[in-house]
Amino acid sequence: MKVAIASQDLTRVDAHLGWARHLMIYEVNEEGYCFLGLSAFADGREDGDHDKLVPRLGVLEGCQLVFVTDVGPDGERGLARNRIIPIRKFAGESVASALEALRDGMRGQAPLWLRQAEQRYRRESNDG
């Protein structure tokens, strides 16, 4: 499953989607996780600048989940259009903790949000 992490400092899930300086992309499965890439964005916390979402949503293409501290209404709509589930549960935690929790959830009794993302991933994998 392809996931993204919104981060300011590259070590924690510590960014709002629209204000994230970095989006880190990982492939995660029951065995572990693998770093796929990093996208960096200009600093800025300008509310009302809806154009800032376009490049971020583009980077998220193909992801099933994005770990964030929060997402604004426009970001929620963009994620919903692309069928990407925002996960706020790990806000403030380390990237490794979030990825390990996802991996562990894939190994055992997965929470609802993870089951939905896995089902979508399987459907899309079979369609491709």
Range of the domain at 58: 2-127
> Considering the entire predicted model, what is its pTM?
0.84
CA distances (Å), 11 to each of 24, 33, 55, in order? Answer: 10, 15, 22
Nearest to 67, CA basis, from 112, 18, 17, 28: 17
Domain count, the chain: 1
The domain that holds 38 is classified in CATH as 3.30.420.130
- Please write the tens of the pLDDT for every residue from 24-69: 999 999 999 999 999 999 865 555 566 789 999 999 999 999 999 9
- Please write the tens of the pLDDT for every residue from 100-119: 999 988 888 777 777 777 77
